[in-house]
Structure 1
C-alpha cells in the first residue's frame, strides 16, 4: 500500500467518526487529555489547512489567534469532513511526498515525514474521537503499522514539542494499535 493510500484511509476513517459525533457529545473528555471532543475537533480544523498546504509545498501558517481562542464553528462537521477530503486529495500525488515542505512555520522538513505525520495523526485522533463518543473504530492493520512506524520516528520530537505525553507501558505482545497509542502517550484501556 502506498503512503498516499495510508493518508486516504486515515482521513476517511476520521471523517466517518466525525460524522457520527452528535452535538451533545462535544463536551465529552477524550484520551488526548488536554482536549474535550469540541477542543479536538477545533484542533483538527486549526492545523488542517497547514497540513493540506504542506502537500502542495505551500507555507500555510495557522491562524494568528491562539488555538484555544478560536471557537468551533457552527458548521464544524461540514468544514472538517471537507478539509479531510482535501487533505487526502492533496497527499494523493507523488510530488507531495518528494523534497521538502513546511508545516505551518518557516522551517523546511522532509515531505515524506510530514505526510507520514498526517496519516499517523489522523489515525490516532480517529481513535481518540471514537473512544470519546462510543463509536466503533475502523482502522485497518496496514494503516496502524504504518502509523506506528511514523510515530517511532517522531515520538521524541513530539514529546519535546508537547504534542505527545510520556510513552505508556504496554506489553511487547500488545496489538499494533495499542503500541501506537502507547507511543503517543495514550492509555489503550482509556474509557470515559
Structure 2
C-alpha cells in the first residue's frame, strides 16, 4: 500500500477525533507522560510543519487553535505529497539520511497511535483500522532495537511487554510505549 494513502487515512481517523475536542478536553491527561491532549495535538502539528519545511521550504504558521492548526497542516502535508518526486527527497531523521517516504511512514505511525492517545484520553473506545495497525506494526518492526528509535529520546516510547495472544492493536500500542489498558482514571 502507498505510504501516502496510509498517512492520509491515519490523518483522517485522528482528525475526526481532533475535530470533536472541546476546550476542556484539551487539558485532559494522555497516555503520553507529561502531555495533555493539547500537547499531543500540537506535537502532531509540529511534526507536519517540520516535515513540510524540510521538504518544501515552507509550512503553515501556527494559529490560536491547535485543532484548526492540525487540520491546516494536515491538508498542506497531504497536498505536498501528491508530488511523486517528494517521496524520494532526502530527509534527516535522528541524524540519519532517509528518503521522505520513510519520514512519511514515521508520520503515519505517529499520527495513528496519537489518535488512540487523544481518543482514549477523552474516554472514547478507539478501535484503529486493522489494516493500518498491521501496516504500522510491519514497518515499525523493521527498525533496529538499538536505543535510537524507542525510549526517552527516540521516536516512540520505551517498548512495553505484551502477551503473545494480544490483538494487533494491543501489540502496536505496547511496541510504541503505551499500555493498551491505559485509561484517564489510571493517571489519578
CA apart distance, 1:176: 1.1
| Structure 1 alignment gaps of length 5 or more | 64-71
**Cα distance change, pair 52–14 in 1 and its aligned pair in 2 (3 A):** farther
Alignment of 1:1-192 (within 5 A): 1-54=1-54, 57-58=55-56, 73-102=63-92, 108-137=97-126, 139-154=128-143, 156=145, 157-159=148-150, 161-192=153-184
CA distance in 1, matches of 2:96, 2:177: 26
| Structure 2 alignment gaps of length 5 or more | none
Q: Is the 8 A contact 1:7 1:91 kept in 2?
A: no
1:39 counterpart SS class: helix
**Cα distance change, pair 155–139 in 1 and its aligned pair in 2 (3 A):** farther
Q: Detail structure 1 runs of 4+ shifted over 4 Å in the superposition.
A: none
CA distance in 2, matches of 1:187, 1:142: 21
TM-score using structure 2 length: 0.82
Q: Across the two proteins, how many residue pairs are aligned to each other?
A: 180
1:182 counterpart SS class: helix
**Cα distance change, pair 73–146 in 1 and its aligned pair in 2 (3 A):** same
CA distance in 1, matches of 2:57, 2:164: 39
Cα offsets for 1:148-184 (capped at 9, x unmatched): 1222233732225344332111112211111111111
CA distance in 1, matches of 2:121, 2:8: 23
**Cα distance change, pair 60–174 in 1 and its aligned pair in 2 (3 A):** farther
Q: Is the 8 A contact 2:45 2:74 kept in 1?
A: no
